Amino acid sequence: MLIEIKALRQELPGLCDIEPLALCELLASLGFPVDAVDTSNGATVFEVDVTANRGDVLSHRGLARDLAAKLDMELSTLPVTTLREGAALLPVRLESEACPLYATAILELGKAQGTPSEVQVFLGHMGASAKNLPPVDASNEILHRLGQPTHAFDADTLQGALIVRWAREGEKIVTLDGVERTLTHQDLVIADEAGAIALAGVMGGDSTKVTAATQRVLLESAFFDPRTVRATAHRHNLHTDASYRFGRGADPAMAQMARDLLVQRLEAWAGAKLVGAWTAGAVPPTAPPIPYNQTLLERVAGEPIPRLEALALLKRLGCQMAPEPGCLQVVAPSWRHDLSIADDLAEEILRLRGYAKIPSALPPLEGAPEPLSKDYLKRRQLASKLAHLGFCQTVTYGFVDPLESQEGNPQVDEQAWRTLKNPLGEEYSLMRGTLLRDLRDTAALNLDRGAREVRLFEIAPVFVAQPQDATTPIRECWTLALAWAGETGGEDPLTPVRKVSALAGKSHLIGVLKALDVPDAAIRAFERWPLAGVVGGAKNQLGWQFEVSLEAIPDAADRVIPAFKAFSRFPSVERDLSLLVKLDQGYRPLADAMTAKVRTSAREAFQELRCVDVFRHKSLPEGRQAWLLRLRFQHPARTLTSEEVDGWMASALDVARSLGAELRG
């Protein structure tokens, strides 16, 4: 977000004595680091980083308000005259709960119109070029100064009543950027009797835009549901200054005030004459009070904080106190949508008080450390076993896009319970009910980037529906998910040759389940998916995945010290066999048969058999590939002789030939 120092000081005159460098450090201490400073064109402009939950500071006045709370200063008074509203000159119907308040006015523009030069300069610093159309430029200036988006329609282009409603499926609108957009029933629009004229909170329509020939304007200053605006902006890939602010939560109490300021600017800049002003709907009710918890505050701070000091800081933020018997309730201001629980209040108190005041001493330890929980030990044991089996642990997002949900079409009411009320974005608005979708996407992405084989697992919670008689509709359930796809052979000398195919993939996954002691009752899903859509993936190649519930897996065993096995002091011997095998030859049957035969004769001297190279070339016989198998022997009590090693190798070769392999010349 861009902030001009001059405009910021107009909102908070006390900043005039603070140098830009000190102001940068002050903003960083409040949680708003300055990413860049531009001092060109005789002005100093900060590029301030604002987190997604702080929509209240996406303006000069909003940021000045937070600085005023920190510095205990007074904001400048807004020079606004409250308009006297009358009967509606144009019917306004609010047909959706996503717009509870719609303030408007109609003005006749004078002949002499023009945007003041200082406003044009200010808009230039904000990256928004002035149009020299007062209704448009004044709307943009108020957005950057106050954070309240407004809009102006050419009143003479409107047909009948003004309606805020959900779009009809397939309805079309040409927005101000000249693009025709096809709407869905999930889009909130401003419409007249002829059709949609604006995407609510996102962008106006081309058919009702203000031009130099406009004689009458209808002003819009409303409050739109943040989630609805975010979803529409994301759906149409149309991210504007208005949707950026509405999507993070505008101040509903500012809507009428912004309308009144916009009227005053048009009267001053364009000689406009107010015809009438009115409001449909009402300011939505404030959020429920938050119980103040002094014990929680001091526990988080690690030291006692005077109650009066803490309450004074909350008042500087704009909070109001509502004493009740046995409890003090705190009412957050209308612009702070992020304050909802006692922890939020504690965090704000410590932020304004200054994190530097929190003592650096470690809190005292009381009593012996608690033992590790069985659930944690189980998860750690499973992760360790899978890592030893060659799988990589991954972490995916806990939220998914409901529009792309592939969870077996869960019931609507179940999905509604898993939907967040104020998500970071529409694509992260649904708590996941399975790990398989994101794990499969991660595996496909790795294959797309050139990985030959991917073996991934994740241990994380999912959210499942409860029985109807349960106290809560959903519960958190820890699961283990695993994905295996691709093809391997010879690149890693420790990795045996195998192809994760329709047959081998499933058999190997069943082996993993057995290695983890997973009972059949724990399996939630066991499935395969084609990799034909993956760039570089063979069309006949498949990926396998499964998901199991951790609740049904036995608990981790108590940790014990393993028995020590002495290392052999005698040299090891390695011998190679280069075999020609069929292309469809499975590695595991061949390796298991050779291992069983050699172990029978070599006993404790046999250490391992592994494939160290795979060679496929047109120079080989048709339908054949070459495997280089390496056998290692080492006796614990003596040195081996060449004769006995040759005998063991000969027996291994005999087994390989019995399965169709040949010695490569």
Q: Look at residue 536 in the predicted model and tell me its pLDDT.
A: 44
Calpha distance 342→291 (Å, rounded): 6
Domain 2-71 has CATH 3.40.50.9100: no
Q: Tell me which fold the domain 290-356 belongs to.
A: Phenylalanyl-tRNA Synthetase; Chain B, domain 1 (3.30.56)
The structure tokens listed for 450 are 């050139």
The pLDDT value recorded for residue 555 is 76
237-266 burial code (b ≥16 CB/10 A, e <16): ebebbbbbbbbbbbbbbbbbbbbbbbbbbb
User: Chain-centre distance of CA 454, in angstroms?
Assistant: 24
Residue 412 CA from chain centroid, whole number? 23
Query: Count of CB atoms within 10 A of residue 396's CB?
Result: 17
Using CA atoms, how far apart are residues 4 and 38, in angstroms rounded to an integer?
A: 9
8 A C-beta contact, residue 83 and residue 263: yes
Cα 2 to Cα 11: distance, rounded to the nearest angstrom: 15
CB 347 within 8 A of CB 330: no
Tens of pLDDT along 261-319?
999 999 999 999 999 999 999 999 988 999 999 999 999 888 899 999 999 999 999 99
Report pLDDT for 626: 93
Integer Cα distance of 140 and 126 in angstroms = 10
**CATH of 92-281 among 3.40.920.10, 3.40.50.720, 3.40.50.1820, 3.50.40.10:** 3.50.40.10
Report helix, strand or coil for 610: strand
Phi and psi at 38, nearest 5°, equal -115, 125
Tens digits of per-residue pLDDT, 475-533?
A: 888 999 998 887 655 444 444 445 444 344 566 677 777 777 777 777 777 777 766 54
pLDDT, position 416: 61
How large is the C-alpha radius of gyration of the chain?
A: 35
Which pLDDT score, from 0 to 100, does residue 534 have? Answer: 43
List the chain residues with pLDDT less than 70. 363, 403-417, 467-471, 487-508, 530-542, 556-562
Sorted by where each begins, the domain ranges of the chain are 2-71, 92-281, 290-356, 374-552, 573-663
Quote the CA–CA distance of 276 and 254 in Å, as a whole number: 19
Which tokens sit at 611? 């494939």
pLDDT of residue 425: 72
CATH of domain 374-552: 3.30.930.10
Kindly state the tokens that stand for 438: 């994101």
Answer whether 242's CB lies under 8 Å from 58's CB.
no
Q: In the CATH scheme, what is the homologous superfamily, with its name and number, of domain 573-663?
A: Ferrodoxin-fold anticodon-binding domain (3.30.70.380)
Give the Cα separation of 430 and 35 in Å (integer): 32
Kindly state the helix (H) or strand (E) to which residue 381 belongs, with its residue range. Answer: helix 374-388
Is there a shared CATH topology between the 2-71 domain and the 290-356 domain? yes
Which residues on neighbouring strands pair with residue 453, listed in sequence order? 486
Contact between residue 122 and residue 4 where contact means Cβ atoms under 8 Å apart: yes
